[in-house]
Amino acid sequence: MDFLHAFLQGSFVLSAVFLLLIAMSFASWYIIFWKGMNLKREYRFYKDFADKHAKIKDWPTHYKSEKANGCVKFLLDEVKNLQAILPNYQSHEAKKEILTMHLLQTLDEIRFWLDRGLTILASIGSSAPFIGLFGTVWGIYNALASIAIQGNAGLSVVAGPMGEALVATAIGLFAAIPAVLAYNSFIRLNRLLVQNLRHIAEQLTVYISNANAV
């Protein structure tokens, strides 16, 4: 029994389950490709920036003229915007506190931006197997109902509903497994990228809070 036959010959409930799982699978793969492309681009931007400054120990002294892209640019722009308020604070501790507070808020905003779409992946990964299981239970119910109506438990009676039930389980797993794997991978990659950005923020904080030129 193939999927098309199960969809066309199945009950309304089972067909609705199939459509829902297919929609969830398409949504999952769309988010996976979208997030994957965004992360690849952000890591390229970070690598370009890191490679450029790997051998320059005092690179924060030139932050005003730095050119970057993506999340790194967002972080540097926030530091440049702080130039308007930092002169109001004379002490080292006050400057460091203001810088730390604003840069942590910026990192939180970056993390929130990077995590877009992950809630959907998590929801698909956790719910799709149970939706497929519901389709399986419904298929078994139809098989038992067919036995009761026709009065026999022959293969010709139960094969159709049981096949539909197995297809529902397979589609549920097909939708859930990629979503779970992608979710875990994106969480790890996002955490690593934010940690790298935190290192940049810490270097900027140390330099600017001790500088008189800001």
Q: How far apart are the first and last CA of the chain?
A: 71
How far is C-alpha 18 from the chain's CA centre?
24
Number of domains in the chain: 1
Domain that holds residue 57: 3-212
| C-beta of residue 70 within 8 angstroms of C-beta of residue 41 | yes
pLDDT at 83: 75
| C-beta of residue 106 within 8 angstroms of C-beta of residue 75 | yes
| C-beta of residue 79 within 8 angstroms of C-beta of residue 204 | yes
Q: d(Cα 163, Cα 18) in Å, to the nearest integer?
A: 13
| Residues with Cβ within 8 Å of residue 176, at least 6 apart in sequence | 124, 125, 126, 127, 128, 129, 132
pLDDT at 212: 45
pLDDT at 214: 43
What pTM, to 2 d.p., does this model score? 0.80
Q: d(Cα 141, Cα 124) in Å, to the nearest integer?
A: 25
Spell out the per-residue pLDDT of the chain, length 214, in tens.
455 555 555 577 888 888 999 999 999 999 999 999 999 999 999 988 888 776 666 665 666 666 778 888 888 888 888 777 777 777 777 777 888 888 899 999 999 999 999 999 999 999 999 999 998 888 887 777 777 776 665 666 566 667 777 888 889 999 999 999 999 999 999 999 999 999 888 887 777 776 644 4
**Side-chain half-sphere CA neighbours of 149 within 13 A:** 8
